[in-house]
């Protein structure tokens, strides 16, 4: 009987059995005078004691405004100190924080606020080309005549309160800085009462997953889900109170608020924010100036940092570890990060929003080859298995869909029992939609998304394998491979190639590079040279957009859905 692809993270380190608010106060008691939050673009540097002062005042203000445990409060903003304050204050007040993508526009904002039933919204004034206040007034013109906190809008029927970050007086809205002054002794006593009565299995966060079809789904996470995931991520990275984590990834996503903020909170480390949105130069400056020991990012961020014209002038020797995640991590990019950025203990983490997010994680002392070519082993207190199309566990080394189970699995999709039942089976297994293998030593390798797998003439092709090979080409900076319809083979391969600055190449050169190195059916038929890839704000490549673009450009008939 072959060994089956099932692993479990038996651990003698217990799970944290408390709410985020209670743990926050423990962290302040232990690390009070140490740096907690540095926000360079706002010129803020607060200790844990100073951060608690801001958090408790804002939480008391939210209570004074009439918000009650279990109610939903949205946050629509790039990275800033107010985002961090809101994250911890809502946890203390028992409110469910709804993360809204800073890139959302009118229809998406309306959908998110109404789907989650948000009674309040914390919003920036603007971000890049997005006029947040203007969009809100378009959706809710009733703001012009409403008393602050007493909104009644036809299109946003649940929304009562809008709190603005960095704004002066706005009709119908309350400035963020004013909220802290609203709470008194009664509200402070209420916070103390909530600390004793809120439960760690209570919902505390809704994160909308960026689906390729249909409306986004609101993954509903608990204190227990995300506090423990942050804690064990820090354990895997060997974090201590001496660590300083540079966080250029967005807070609205699990990468920022869990693998960033909650990793730091649970280990007394410092949260360092270089800019309101990712800027490679600002990130490099933050690492050097703040002597950061860790750096997070998706692969495209690390590429942008290492390829920046001024990269060589920065002293990055303080760096030790960090996480590369969010999309498949090319082996060559990992190697460059180790060699050029002093990230000797950088790891890959794997998971999904619905699993808090991490379920597999590399160890800092794994051999480099293991760390760059796999996503590590199963996380403590988590189970995983690889199954075939019928849900049967496959032998070790055989590709199949990864399913995970344990404390990491979300409560479900908010107000969507049907899609929750599709995602989580009766035994509590979360179906990831990712194809992977588990080897005899328990290391997991992701070979692609089920929907990204290309079937060419009956051959199953995993785009990531082709991408990893093409990264070896000296002229290629980045590459993404997709399948496009083909009348003869069903599908053909197409590679979108981003060349290094100053390089030029023809499609035939790329194809010639492949000949004799990989099977003929794996050589991309189509090569498109691009300056950038379509991606989400978190850095995830939108392959479905690429596929639709090629169908249009090549005059093909779409046969496969994204």
pLDDT confidence bin for 210, thresholds 50/70/90: low
How many Cβ atoms from other residues are within 10 Å of residue 286's Cβ? 24
Rounded average pLDDT over 283-288: 98
What is the pLDDT, as a whole number, of residue 426? Answer: 97
Rounded average pLDDT over 310-319: 98
* Secondary structure string (H, E, C) spanning 497-514: EEECCCCCCCHHHHHHHH
Residue 421 CA to residue 428 CA, distance in Å, equals 10
327: tokens are 């999309």
Q: Which of 222-231, 447-456, 478-487, 509-518 has the lowest mean pLDDT?
A: 447-456
417: tokens are 């029992």
Rounded average pLDDT over 202-208: 97
pLDDT confidence bin for 453, thresholds 50/70/90: confident
Rounded average pLDDT over 304-333: 93
At a CB cut-off of 8 Å and minimum separation 6, what does 42 contact?
80, 81
- The helix/strand/coil state of 40 is helix
Residues 218, 207 contacting (CB under 8 angstroms):
yes
Give pTM, 2 decimals.
0.88
Question: CA nearest 562: which of 418, 551, 495?
Answer: 551
Rounded average pLDDT over 128-144: 94
Domain coordinates in residue numbering, the chain: 6-14+214-449, 43-199, 455-554
Rounded average pLDDT over 334-342: 96
Angle (nearest 5°) at CA 373 between 459 and 1? 65
pLDDT confidence bin for 559, thresholds 50/70/90: very low
Rounded average pLDDT over 86-111: 94
Mean pLDDT of the chain: 94
pLDDT confidence bin for 139, thresholds 50/70/90: very high
Residues 218, 203 contacting (CB under 8 angstroms):
no
pLDDT in tens, 457-491: 777 788 988 998 999 999 999 999 999 998 888 88
pLDDT in tens, 55-75: 999 999 999 999 999 999 999
Q: Which of 287-301, 377-391, 483-497 has the lowest mean pLDDT?
A: 483-497
CATH class of 455-554: alpha beta
Cis peptide before 357 (omega within 30 of 0): yes
**Dihedral sign, CA of 487, 488, 491, 497?**
negative
Domains 6-14+214-449 and 43-199 share a fold: yes
What is the pLDDT, as a whole number, of residue 487? Answer: 82
Residue pointed to by tokens 């480099």? 368
- Percent of the residues in the chain that have a pLDDT greater than 90, as a whole number: 83
Residues 259, 453 contacting (CB under 8 angstroms):
no
What is the pLDDT, as a whole number, of residue 189? Answer: 98
Cβ burial, residue 434 (10 Å; 0-12/13-18/19+): buried
pLDDT confidence bin for 300, thresholds 50/70/90: confident
pLDDT exceeds cutoff 50 at 183: yes
CATH class of 43-199: alpha beta
Residue 77 CA to residue 101 CA, distance in Å, equals 8
What is the pLDDT, as a whole number, of residue 558? Answer: 56
The CATH number fitting domain 6-14+214-449, selected from 3.30.565.10, 3.60.20.40, 3.40.50.12780, 3.40.50.720:
3.40.50.12780
pLDDT in tens, 47-57: 999 999 999 99
pLDDT confidence bin for 214, thresholds 50/70/90: low
At a CB cut-off of 8 Å and minimum separation 6, what does 104 contact?
76, 112
């Amino acid at each position: 009987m072959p060994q089956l692809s099932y692993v479990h993270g038996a651990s003698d380190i217990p799970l944290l059995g408390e709410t985020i608010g209670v743990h926050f106060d423990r962290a302040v008691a232990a690390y009070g005078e140490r740096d907690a939050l540095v926000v360079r673009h706002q010129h803020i540097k607060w200790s844990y004691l100073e951060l608690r002062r801001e958090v408790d005042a804002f939480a008391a203000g939210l209570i004074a405004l009439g918000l009650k445990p279990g109610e939903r409060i949205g946050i629509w903003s790039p990275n800033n100190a107010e985002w961090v304050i809101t994250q911890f204050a809502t946890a203390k007040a028992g409110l469910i924080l709804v993360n809204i993508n800073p890139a959302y526009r009118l229809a998406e904002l309306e959908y998110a606020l109404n789907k989650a039933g948000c009674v309040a919204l914390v919003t920036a004034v603007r971000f890049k080309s997005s006029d947040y206040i203007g969009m809100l007034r378009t959706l809710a013109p009733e703001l012009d005549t409403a008393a602050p906190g007493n909104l009644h809008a036809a299109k946003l029927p649940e929304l009562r309160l809008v709190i603005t970050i960095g704004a002066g007086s706005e009709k119908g809205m309350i400035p963020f800085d004013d909220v802290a002054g609203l709470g008194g002794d009664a509200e402070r006593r209420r916070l103390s009462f909530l600390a004793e009565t809120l439960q760690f299995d209570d919902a505390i966060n809704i994160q909308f997953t960026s689906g390729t079809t249909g409306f986004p789904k609101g993954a509903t996470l608990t204190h227990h889900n995300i506090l423990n995931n942050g804690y064990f991520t820090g354990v895997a990275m060997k974090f201590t109170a001496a660590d300083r984590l540079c966080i250029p990834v967005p807070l609205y996503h699990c990468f920022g608020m869990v693998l960033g903020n909650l990793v730091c909170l649970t280990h007394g480390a410092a949260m360092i924010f270089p800019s309101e949105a990712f800027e490679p130069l600002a990130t490099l400056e933050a690492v050097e100036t703040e002597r950061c020991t860790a750096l997070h990012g998706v692969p495209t961020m690390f590429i942008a940092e290492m390829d920046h014209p001024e990269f060589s002038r920065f002293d990055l020797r303080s760096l030790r570890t960090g996480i590369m995640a969010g999309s498949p991590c090319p082996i060559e990019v990992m190697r460059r990060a180790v060699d050029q950025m002093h990230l000797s203990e950088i790891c890959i983490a794997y998971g999904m929003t619905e699993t808090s997010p991490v379920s597999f994680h590399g160890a800092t002392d794994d051999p480099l080859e293991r760390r760059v070519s796999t996503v590590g082993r199963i996380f403590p207190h988590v189970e995983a298995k690889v199954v075939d199309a019928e849900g049967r566990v496959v032998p070790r080394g055989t590709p199949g869909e990864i399913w995970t189970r344990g404390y990491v699995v979300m409560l479900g999709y908010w107000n969507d029992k049907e899609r929750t039942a599709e995602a989580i089976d009766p035994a509590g297994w979360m179906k990831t939609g990712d194809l992977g293998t588990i080897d005899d030593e328990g290391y997991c390798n992701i070979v692609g998304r089920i929907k990204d797998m290309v079937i060419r003439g009956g051959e199953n092709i995993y785009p990531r394998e082709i991408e990893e090979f093409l990264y070896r080409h000296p002229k290629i900076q980045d590459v993404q491979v997709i399948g496009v319809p083909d009348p003869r083979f069903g599908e053909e391969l197409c590679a979108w190639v981003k060349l290094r600055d100053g390089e030029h190449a023809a499609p035939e050169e790329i194809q010639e590079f492949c000949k004799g190195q990989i099977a003929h059916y794996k050589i991309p038929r189509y090569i498109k040279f691009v300056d950038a890839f379509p991606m989400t704000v978190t850095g995830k490549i939108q392959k479905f957009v690429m596929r639709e673009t090629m169908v249009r450009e090549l005059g093909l008939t779409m046969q496969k859905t994204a």
